[in-house]
Chains A and B, each alone.
Chain A
């Protein structure tokens, strides 16, 4: 990262604007810089990743699908390595990879149809053309399982290929969906580029709209007279509560990690102002331990940084205390998590240990003896095991943890699930 950037740290919006003027490499470097400095966090990571991958598609040199895939993979893994505790980056990369594979399939099917002089069928419904594939097939790419595996494979695993397998309803074991298109013409590469970019645009839209979509479910979840404990309300939670406040009268207890007492403005002032204006009472709790308040609370709401495939959550530290306390008192725990935060991995040990943050707000460096003597650990992220969570409220609606697998299958391709495994080898 360029040291000159340490002086002024651009915001995400500026960064995204600057993408257009910079070379691709420079954009990537500045984003990596911001990720490492934790200037871009959480939801912003997803947006930034989508934007930068869009640049990769637009600016980098590639002639066929395979080249594009490997470009995305290598840039994606660089980003993911820069922020190992932001699984959202990997999720967006996977989504983009899956998108490219889909577009490639569609393209080829179109080509195939054209080559069969069936170009009048523009609807591109490949299922009607089981025999549409040319007999000669190039060798599958290495990351795909060998055809023999697939032919003995279960129907389930096939269904995960989603659109890809739909292309071969004739049960042909060789789907060839991601086979390299070495013969792809530049013209089709050009078409692919714009299609992929449109697709990324859609992903961006999804990311941008997710909070509002989740807020749409607030009415169902929050009832009049409820006492809702919101732990460190993120933007997602804020929208959710404000939306609920327009329809319901309830009380919000806002807990957070720590806030400095005595500052002129009480924490979460803007949120509280909005809620109070709608007639919703708010109480800021100056406490880390939440067991004392849980008997009063009807439900606990917070947002997740990531949801793992076992249903476990990566969250801001302290949310775990809230979830645990609520679980003990059998109060529902509602997690707001847009689908792009669902991560087709299992939590690593690092995740369950938690990320360590800057302790200087707790132990001042001016306090020499303390700094000298203490091992201070300020954990800033927590892992919450799935059993503590009752509802995963996504932009597609509420889910239970038993249903997460199908959401993952709908959004990621099996080829890309191992994306993070390649992180070690750049």
Chain B
């Protein structure tokens, strides 16, 4: 995933805006002083002065940071707007717990340095330089101390960014949900400057810095890209004269709607659909742990079906072990394979393979955790159906990917020649029998290539 995904064209906007506006207020410090003295100035001048000041401040801070880089203290909680960040706090556990605790209230807490990355957090350029040359084009998440973040970044977003960088929020949907909730906080605390309108001012001056920061922490996932595109579209639709409160109310409502429709209900509908496609006595094979697959199994068990599950795990992540335990507790017989050894016979013994996806590209290829492609291919070659479970918000209609080295991420923990790992791989659509989304019912599922049609079917009414 490239760092500047969907936000790219507008992301650049704030910087380029400042340049022409600095005609009179540029660079001269007095301008900042006069700001307070002359509040009744023309808007243009005020805006320009504001920007000039911001720019000067930013430059100063950067210089400071550069000097102080050697000894950056652990990020301290942001207290000034603590209340607004409440909804995002409290995710101090490992990455697996991020999902459950996410969205719930909690005390404000900057994610600690535990979890995946015990090593020292601040080693920016050096970290990148250790990446083997042939993979150097692939982005990697990085931890930015909150003290180095852009000052416009909202505390709620700061917290989410930290959680993403530490993989406390890992899978696309929990990242999307956290982002949307954080943006809701941003919208709540937003006040349109005098003489501006929300539809003109909000995106370039408030939203984009947040997006930039999040992207810097970890390359955006495709679901986030989609949601941000929709959100921007939504904001732009507001008439210039729309009252601020009305617009904010509308946006908050829309975010709620998006979370409910595209995340909560979608998850439910997919689990339902997929569970229906499990037959009595089936052996279902899955790889790693994906929340949709887990839900599906539990759902099918609740329906009273008896079936076996084979969990193939990645020995370098071992997420499947948790899944295996959960399923076992639910009374489902589980065969657990800690690695991809013996994949062929295991796949051949299965009746279906259920795989969870991070995203699906416009050409129908699946973007999922590393190793999924190998399992899908083995299953397809053995004549076993490969069913992918994926919410439509994860579908990317603009990008096409034919190999795993186009859009991917380097594991920030394993990024050297001594130990290297890509987080995702790309499964060609010929290894996918069907995709179960929230749109199908009755156990039918669409081929992976049909995603564009699917998107057209549902996306238009959402933007309005």
Contact = CB atoms under 8 A, between A and B. Distances in A.
Nearest to B338: A362
User: Dominant SS at the B interface?
Assistant: mixed
B132 A373 contact: no
A231 to B, nearest CB: 11
B316 A288 contact: yes
A30 to B, nearest CB: 30
Contacts of B134: 227, 251, 283, 296
Contact of A324 (B318, B374, B404, B420): B374
Contacts of A220: none
A352 B343 CA distance: 11
B341 A379 contact: yes
B421 A285 contact: yes
Nearest to B371: A289
A378 B334 contact: no
A257 B341 contact: yes
A234 to B, nearest CB: 16
Interface in B328-349: 328-329, 333-346
B374 A284 contact: no
B417 A282 contact: yes
A287 interface: yes
Interface string A303-326: 000000000000001101100110
B422 interface: yes
Interface in B287-321: 313-316, 318, 321
Nearest to B344: A320
B208 interface: no
A287 B377 contact: no
A293 interface: yes
A418 interface: no
A283 B417 contact: yes
A380 interface: yes
Contacts of B316: 258, 261, 286-288
Nearest to B287: A289
B417 to A, nearest CB: 5
Contact of B338 (A324, A363, A382): A363
Interface in A362-397: 362-363, 369-370, 373-383
A289 B338 contact: no
Contact of A373 (B328, B372, B408, B420): B328
A190 interface: no
Contacts of B318: 362
B69 interface: no
B134 to A, nearest CB: 6
B378 interface: yes
B404 A379 contact: no
Given A291-B373, A292-B425, A284 B404 contact: no
A59 interface: no
Contact of B411 (A286, A293, A359): A286
B426 interface: yes
A189 interface: no
Contacts of A282: 417
A266 interface: yes
Contacts of B405: 292, 295-296
A281 B333 CA distance: 45
Contacts of B425: 289, 291-292
A232 to B, nearest CB: 11
A328 interface: yes
Contacts of A324: 374, 377-378, 381
Contacts of B336: 363, 374-377
Contacts of B404: 291-293, 295
B417 A284 contact: yes
Given A251-B134, A261-B419, A290 B338 contact: no
A353 interface: yes
B191 interface: no
B424 interface: yes
B186 interface: no
A41 to B, nearest CB: 16
B179 to A, nearest CB: 26
A354 interface: yes
A192 to B, nearest CB: 46
A266 B414 CA distance: 12
Interface in B181-212: none
A271 B307 CA distance: 46
Contact of B337 (A266, A320, A378): A378
Given A284-B418, A287-B370, A289-B425, A295 B345 contact: no
B403 interface: yes
A368 to B, nearest CB: 11
Interface in A242-261: 251, 257-258, 261
Contacts of B337: 376-379
Q: Which 5 A-B pairs have the closest CB atoms?
A: A289-B371, A379-B342, A317-B341, A362-B338, A291-B373
21 contacts: A257-B341, A261-B316, A281-B132, A283-B420, A284-B417, A284-B420, A289-B314, A289-B340, A290-B374, A292-B405, A292-B426, A320-B344, A354-B342, A369-B325, A370-B324, A375-B333, A377-B336, A378-B339, A379-B337, A379-B342, A382-B342
Given A288-B339, A324-B378, A382-B341, 16 more contacts: A257-B339, A281-B132, A281-B417, A285-B421, A287-B316, A289-B372, A289-B425, A291-B427, A292-B404, A292-B408, A296-B405, A318-B340, A363-B321, A363-B336, A373-B324, A379-B337
